[in-house]
Structure 1
Amino acid sequence: MDTSNPIGIFLVSSGSNGERLLFRYPDGIGESPEETSKNPKNNPYSVKITENFCCDDSHSAKSIFSNIDKGMLTGYADKDLANLLAVKAPLCGKKFEVKINEVLFVGFPLHIFGSNDATSRRQMSTLSSFNLVFALHGSSDESLIASYQDIAKHLVVGLRHEEERCGYLTQQKNIMWTIQDDVAMLPEDQRCESPFKIMLKKSQLAKQLKKVHDDVCKTGVVQLYINNWVHISVCLPHKVYNMSLPSDCGRLFKPEAVKKCLASLRPYHALLLMVDENSLSNSLPLDSSPSITRLLRIVSPLKNLQTLAADADLSLGQVFQIASHLVLWGKATIIYPLCESNVYVLGPRTNTLVNSALGEKFVEQFPGMSLSAIMAEFSLPSPLGEHRDVLGLPQQQAQEVKMVVWMLRQQLLLQLHTYVYLMPCGVPSQSQLTPQSGGNNSDLEIFLSGMKRASSASDVASVNSDELYPPKSPSIEITNEGNVITSETRLQWRLVDQHLSALTPEQRREILAVPAASNPEDLHLFAKLCLYFDGHHHLEEIMYYENVRRSQLLTLLDKFRSILITCIHEDKVTSFWNS
């Protein structure tokens, strides 16, 4: 059983006539199954035991008197639910959450006649507030709770709009009240049908609430028109992704996985559509933003989001919102733009059977090609450029790119990124870093002494004299070895000192002991990138934020390889579907 599915949906009203449960689905019984078995006949003189005072074990008591039976809520009478789920006016417009034992009630109550002018028709209404509540399992996490509260908020806002427009909620409330009163007036032996089941035949709102519950359980997508007027379109992201998985994959998306991906979205990411562009454009509502259509026309797995924003003449924030919306609905996924340096490997959960259903789809898409042969090429991590036939025709190379894109859409490939760790192996002795007396000073020794030497009065006087009499050319210092040190070099040293200030003295000494540190430009670049060498930033991210070419970055890492450790693994942002 999927514990992310709701146990039930409830509609509660508050007004001059008190609190009342208008509708519930599924229609649970008023008492627990154990009580029903103990009291098969309705005896008005029997005493119902609601607590087990003789049992000291809380776990066994919980198992005997459970409020969830066969996926339905039991043990709560309608009056108890009305008193529990109805809220006062100060709590309206806020998220609602109450947990009792293993059942969690979440919703979004609203006050109907807030700041609007009440007409004579509305003044006659006895309805002041209402609450739409989902009953969930008590172990539900925060992201799942927030998703159901968001669905409840969309629905209650639409209902309040229709109530203020034409009194729709009051009309449906009167229908539900009438059915409940008619059933309550019947003798007990003639109550063959629950009033909530009768509502499904006579109340349009009851039918729509049932549809909301069923759609959430089946597909995770809720799309309907309240009173044939207000369009509601919401979804449970993890449910949408779980529906796209094969039945034999043996895994499910967690509710927080998609939202973590969206929280880590960056401008250097690309957007990969999971459905056909034409079908996606045709499925958009009539009042959708033209920016979505404009972006869909130029979206490509070869372009990052920043490039898409420039090509579509949209702000980067708009592109982020559209991309997040498409990912949330399972219409697209986040990848790194395709290039020859990308490293791909088969995913750990890829179905490698020769006669799989994906193999047949692959042959239909690419006649004459074998999916097993293509997957064999990615059995070991390798750059995408190694799979490209340099001597092939342009049409053949384009088809190879299409095959990679198809495999990414089917979640067969996993991209690996290189992460860097600053791991000094050993701290050199101070004698190795201190200039030897009587010897020639090297550039590294001059750099060390320049960084460690405190400013003196002569330095201040020199600065003041430079301000009064600015030199025509930069000050130049020549070492005993003939090396020239200009003012620009000294400025780089000061910047290096600022970048390395977050490191420990031992780490700084070992960095300066690397032979490549004698080059001021290399040392300045290394110090600038040092904050990324913590294993949380891959090379592509460093290249984007620091505007560094890949060749330049790889050369720098090779020069300082004695104190760096590199590892290759997937990015949790772009591979959340494979985690």
Structure 2
Amino acid sequence: YLRLNQNFVKVSYELKVNNVRFVGHPSQVQPCVKRGKSPNKPIILLNIVFALQASASHSIVKCYYELSKRLGTALKQEEKRCGYVNHQVKIMISAHDDCGRSDESDGDGVDPFEMILEQSSLASDLKNIYTDLCTSGLVQIRINRTLPMSFCLPQKVHQLQNKDLMVDPETIEKCLKKVRPYHGLLLLVEPCKLLETLIADTSNELIKLVKIYTPLKSLHTLSQDARLKLQSCSNWLVT
């Protein structure tokens, strides 16, 4: 159980204890007030923590930072929409307390974690995420059966084809940088020839875009350089 103060919100952090490295990215949660009054003690800070070997490389730790951040963002959105996080926490606490009372009354050893997994969809999702990370490295899940979330551990995925192959995530990132931008413009004629063929009342936005065009720029960069909205640039694409 790791408790952080508000200074760590939206900041990736890690804590090393002996041979274990704890990695997380805390998110501040805004309780939902759409369905009745808000909880008496609402969850306001959400932190999904992963326990890794202390010897894990920085690039691998960075992957888990990203996963913790994505999970936090998805859960924060569902909490704001329908109070999902606080509702699931109530289910977990209730299941844990029920197991305690059952042990005191009849002495049967009911595993509280098994009961929590049966009753809480959030607990079940977290378990499935853990299982997917350990087996394939691919995570494809719907938080609260509504919000899709996907994630990939690059070094794990490549080992599905070759168990002896160890690919560092930083190596993959370097390769990806060489093929970026993915989403850009590729003109079929020279920009100057295209400008000559445009009619008199052509949009000034299109003219401005063609003048600063280069295939090496992404749509996002083109929109910034032309001082146009990204949507305005993408509207000129032919699909």
Whether TM-score is above 0.5 comes out as yes
Q: Structure 1 residues 127 and 231 mapped into 2: Cα distance closer, same or farther (>3 Å)?
A: same
Helix, strand or coil at the partner of 1:127: coil
Contact residue 107 and residue 134 of structure 1 kept, 8 A = yes
1:230 aligned residue (144, 147, 167): 147
Structure 1 residues 397-430: Cα deviation after superposition (integer angstroms, max 9, x where no partner):
xxxxxxxxxxxxxxxxxxxxxxxxxxxxxxxxxx
2:171 aligned residue (257, 265, 269): 257
5 Å-filtered alignment, 1:66-465, equals 82=1, 85-113=2-30, 121-122=37-38, 124-185=40-101, 186-187=103-104, 190=107, 192-245=109-162, 247=163, 250-263=164-177, 265=178, 309-310=186-187, 316-318=216-218
Helix, strand or coil at the partner of 1:121: coil
Q: CA deviation at 1:88?
A: 1.4
Q: CA deviation at 1:320?
A: 11
Q: CA deviation at 1:205?
A: 0.8
Question: 1:336 corresponds to which residue?
Answer: none
Contact residue 309 and residue 316 of structure 1 kept, 8 A = no
| Structure exhibiting the larger radius of gyration computed from Cα positions | 1
Structure 1 residues 492-538: Cα deviation after superposition (integer angstroms, max 9, x where no partner):
xxxxxxxxxxxxxxxxxxxxxxxxxxxxxxxxxxxxxxxxxxxxxxx
Contact residue 140 and residue 151 of structure 2 kept, 8 A = yes
Provide the rounded CA distance (Å) in 2 between the counterparts of 1:225 and 1:214.
15
Q: CA deviation at 1:118?
A: 5.2
Alpha-carbon RMSD across the aligned residues, in angstroms, is 3.1
Provide the rounded CA distance (Å) in 2 between the counterparts of 1:233 and 1:314.
32
**Structure 1 unaligned regions, length at least 5:** 1-81, 272-290, 296-307, 322-579
Helix, strand or coil at the partner of 2:139: strand
Matched to 2:156, the amino acid is: K
Q: CA deviation at 1:184?
A: 2.5
Q: CA deviation at 1:151?
A: 0.7
Matched to 1:190, the amino acid is: G
Q: CA deviation at 1:261?
A: 2.3
Q: CA deviation at 1:314?
A: 8.8
Q: CA deviation at 1:173?
A: 0.5
Q: CA deviation at 1:319?
A: 8.2
Helix, strand or coil at the partner of 1:206: helix
Q: CA deviation at 1:251?
A: 3.1
Contact residue 155 and residue 167 of structure 2 kept, 8 A = yes
Question: 1:302 corresponds to which residue?
Answer: none
Q: CA deviation at 1:318?
A: 3.2
Q: State the identity %.
A: 31
Question: 1:425 corresponds to which residue?
Answer: none
Provide the rounded CA distance (Å) in 1 between the counterparts of 2:108 and 2:43.
28
Matched to 2:55, the amino acid is: S
Q: CA deviation at 1:222?
A: 1.0
Q: CA deviation at 1:187?
A: 3.1
Structure 1 residues 248-297: Cα deviation after superposition (integer angstroms, max 9, x where no partner):
xx33222332123234x167x9x9xxxxxxxxxxxxxxxxxxx6xxx9xx
Provide the rounded CA distance (Å) in 1 between the counterparts of 2:117 and 2:217.
44
Contact residue 134 and residue 148 of structure 1 kept, 8 A = yes
Q: CA deviation at 1:110?
A: 1.2
Provide the rounded CA distance (Å) in 2 between the counterparts of 1:224 and 1:314.
38
Contact residue 238 and residue 258 of structure 1 kept, 8 A = no
Matched to 1:209, the amino acid is: L
Provide the rounded CA distance (Å) in 2 between the counterparts of 1:192 and 1:159.
32
Structure 1 residues 37-96: Cα deviation after superposition (integer angstroms, max 9, x where no partner):
xxxxxxxxxxxxxxxxxxxxxxxxxxxxxxxxxxxxxxxxxxxxx2xx121122111112
Provide the rounded CA distance (Å) in 2 between the counterparts of 1:112 and 1:157.
9
Q: CA deviation at 1:122?
A: 2.6
Matched to 1:100, the amino acid is: V
Which has the larger strand fraction?
Answer: 1
Contact residue 221 and residue 236 of structure 1 kept, 8 A = yes
5 Å-filtered alignment, 1:483-522, equals none
Q: CA deviation at 1:223?
A: 1.0
Provide the rounded CA distance (Å) in 2 between the counterparts of 1:252 and 1:146.
17
Q: CA deviation at 1:156?
A: 1.1
Provide the rounded CA distance (Å) in 2 between the counterparts of 1:104 and 1:188.
39
